[in-house]
């Protein structure tokens, strides 16, 4: 039953004069006993995760924490240089996460989450599902999200490390197996290697941990926010303030100077 419009309800957490409760557990009991990764998976899935899931999530968050001067940190640093509050500078950087940069895990995740129940029910194989996923994006004239990398054409070095840990911690599951089948299918369709990138691995492993595909981008923007906060501080304290693009890097190719028509 849905709540009425003027009522708020949540199954996540609640607090009163004496205690805060997360998914039924007393927060004071959790503090000091569970890691941030375990507590977040508790919020996100409703249950405390198996220890291997939390260990892998922690490793995933470290792998996303910071990548130096990239679109999100450039936005954060621009905003910080303009004197915005630190949280506004971080929020701006997070908003740079989109379908092409930093957010591809969601689009791939939606497809994987749609196909895995069908495979489980015996309606098709991973190879067939992978073929449908590649066709789906190609029919839209789009690249398959989660594969290819401008900097690492031979393969994103973070992915084998994450899967080494995912295997060791018992996380790798059906979504990851389908994601690797998509990689094989993409190779066949494009005739070139387009290995799974970090976004693809975050999406597939997040689903293997039981996350809803609509939550997958949080795997990128939650840890990166922590990195962006430090970028904002460095910009405020080490740089001269008010960033702008140098004139020699700007090309104006609109109409030449002209006058308004005479009345």
- Which positions touch ligand COA (CB under 6 A)? 100, 104, 143-150, 186, 190, 194, 197-199
Of the pair 70, 229, the CB lying nearest ligand COA is at: 70
**Main-chain phi, psi angles of 17, to 5 degrees:** -60, -30
Return the residue matching tokens 């990398």: 149
What 3-state class would DSSP assign to 216?
coil
* Least distance to ligand COA, CB of residue 137, Å: 7
Of the pair 80, 181, the CB lying nearest ligand COA is at: 181
**Integer Cα distance of 183 and 197 in angstroms:** 10
Return the residue matching tokens 């994006």: 137
- β-sheet with 13-15: strand ranges across: 13-15, 20-22, 25-26
First to last CA, the chain: 66
* Least distance to ligand COA, CB of residue 81, Å: 26
Q: Answer yes or no: are the C-beta atoms of 55 and 165 closer than 8 Å.
A: yes
* Least distance to ligand COA, CB of residue 56, Å: 19
**Integer Cα distance of 160 and 181 in angstroms:** 16
Of the pair 36, 101, the CB lying nearest ligand COA is at: 101
* Least distance to ligand COA, CB of residue 144, Å: 4
What 3-state class would DSSP assign to 25?
strand
* Least distance to ligand COA, CB of residue 22, Å: 32
Q: Answer yes or no: are the C-beta atoms of 227 and 69 closer than 8 Å.
A: no
Of the pair 49, 203, the CB lying nearest ligand COA is at: 203
Residue 147, beta-bridge partner list = 196
**Integer Cα distance of 26 and 172 in angstroms:** 31
* Least distance to ligand COA, CB of residue 83, Å: 31
* Least distance to ligand COA, CB of residue 130, Å: 13
Nearest residue to ligand COA on Cβ basis = 148
Of the pair 148, 227, the CB lying nearest ligand COA is at: 148
**Integer Cα distance of 75 and 212 in angstroms:** 28
Of the pair 96, 186, the CB lying nearest ligand COA is at: 186
Of the pair 76, 183, the CB lying nearest ligand COA is at: 183
């Amino acid at each position: 039953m849905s709540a009425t419009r003027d009522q708020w309800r949540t199954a996540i957490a609640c607090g009163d004069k004496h205690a805060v409760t997360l998914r039924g557990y007393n927060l004071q009991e959790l503090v000091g006993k569970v890691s941030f990764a375990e507590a977040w998976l508790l919020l996100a899935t409703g249950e405390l995760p198996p220890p291997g899931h939390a260990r892998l999530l922690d490793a995933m968050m470290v792998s996303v924490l910071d990548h130096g001067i990239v679109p999100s940190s450039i936005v954060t640093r621009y905003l910080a240089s303009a004197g915005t509050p630190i949280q506004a500078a971080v929020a701006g950087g997070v908003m740079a996460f989109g379908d092409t940069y930093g957010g591809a895990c969601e689009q791939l995740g939606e497809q994987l989450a749609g196909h895995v129940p069908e495979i489980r029910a015996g309606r098709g194989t991973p190879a067939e599902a992978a073929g449908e996923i590649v066709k789906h994006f190609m029919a839209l004239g789009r690249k398959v999200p989660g594969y290819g990398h401008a900097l690492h054409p031979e393969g994103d070095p973070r992915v084998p490390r994450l899967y080494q840990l995912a295997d060791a911690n018992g996380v790798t599951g059906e979504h990851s197996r389908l994601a690797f089948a998509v990689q094989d299918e993409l190779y066949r369709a494009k005739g070139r290697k387009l290995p799974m990138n970090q976004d693809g691995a975050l999406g597939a492993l997040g689903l293997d941990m039981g996350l809803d595909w609509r939550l997958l981008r949080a795997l990128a923007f939650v840890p990166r926010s922590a990195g962006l906060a430090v970028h904002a501080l460095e910009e405020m304290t080490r740089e001269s303030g008010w960033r702008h693009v140098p004139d020699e890097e700007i090309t104006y190719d609109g109409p030449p100077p002209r006058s308004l028509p005479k009345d």
